[in-house]
Amino acid sequence: MIRVDGQENGKSLIQVRGLSKTYRRGGEEIQVLQRLNLDVDKGDFVGFMGPSGSGKTTLLNLLGGLDVPTEGSITVDGDEITHMSGSKLTKWRARHVGFIFQMYNLIPVLTAYQNVELPLLLTKLSGSERRKHVETALSVVGLTDRMNHYPRQLSGGQEQRVTIARAIVSDPTFLLCDEPTGDLDRKSADEIMALIEELVARHGKTVLMVTHDPVVAARAHTTLHLEKGVLVEASKLAQGVVAGGVK
């Protein structure tokens, strides 16, 4: 269940408390996020919507340990990440976060197999163990027959599937998707969303997704709206979400 009221229930996988982020631009302070609270349980699928500049990607970056907040804390599976050093945070990301980007961001000179294998190169797995994991991940996204293809030889939807395989191959604690269908046609977008839903439903993955597309957002268990850095509205679909943002 997803909550934004800051009430403890003791079983949150991701717990955000009083999260603020301020940028300084040309001597002016821009507050992107304002004292947000958020609780996400294991297996939740939450979508973040909002206009450009509302702080969706900033929130995702903070949750993924790519950026540090000005105030507040983020705890994932018991680890408080907001005060981790840069190198510790890098290792934490490798272990706990799977990233899915809008532009896929695959390495063009590596095959689908090699792209998916990349996160495993940071582990102590042997070559044969890595192969097993990569083949499993590619079979989950239905691309076993394309493993030796380069990104340029794949369609946009297939590239995004490879990105998803790369994100899940190391079995991370949760997945962060930044506009995963933003660069795809409707049919491919549907396929990708079906795949993400399957990851949640069948594999118990926890997914946090940013999107502009209401159709895509509707596929999430819960949709939260960010308006000028504040969670202002809960999705109608989210039965358990306490409405409103925390200021």
Binding site for other proteins (CB under 8 A): 61, 64, 66-67, 86-87, 90-91, 93-95, 99, 101, 103, 105, 107-110, 114, 118-119, 121-122, 166
Closer of 77 and 190 to other proteins (Cβ) = 77
7-to-143, 146, 160, 201 alpha-carbon distances in Å: 42, 46, 36, 26
Burial of 7 (0-12, 13-18, 19+ CB in 10 A): exposed
Closer of 2 and 97 to other proteins (Cβ) = 97
Compute the distance between CA of residue 79 and CA of residue 91 in angstroms, rounded to an integer: 13
Tell the smallest beta-carbon distance from residue 159 to other proteins (Å): 13
Closer of 82 and 105 to other proteins (Cβ) = 105
Tell the smallest beta-carbon distance from residue 160 to other proteins (Å): 14
- Which is nearest to 132 in space by CA: 117, 154, 151? 117
Tell the smallest beta-carbon distance from residue 64 to other proteins (Å): 7
Tell the smallest beta-carbon distance from residue 190 to other proteins (Å): 25
Closer of 118 and 242 to other proteins (Cβ) = 118
Tell the smallest beta-carbon distance from residue 85 to other proteins (Å): 11
- Which is nearest to 41 in space by CA: 8, 65, 83? 8
Closer of 103 and 194 to other proteins (Cβ) = 103
**Helices within 64-213 (DSSP H only):** 86-96, 112-117, 127-140, 156-168, 186-201
Compute the distance between CA of residue 28 and CA of residue 50 in angstroms, rounded to an integer: 23
The answer to whether residues 168 and 175 touch, using CB atoms and an 8 Å cutoff, is: yes
Tell the smallest beta-carbon distance from residue 233 to other proteins (Å): 26
Closer of 75 and 92 to other proteins (Cβ) = 92
Taking the CA atoms of 242, 99, 178 and 247 in sequence, report the sign of the dihedral they define: positive
Compute the distance between CA of residue 18 and CA of residue 32 in angstroms, rounded to an integer: 13
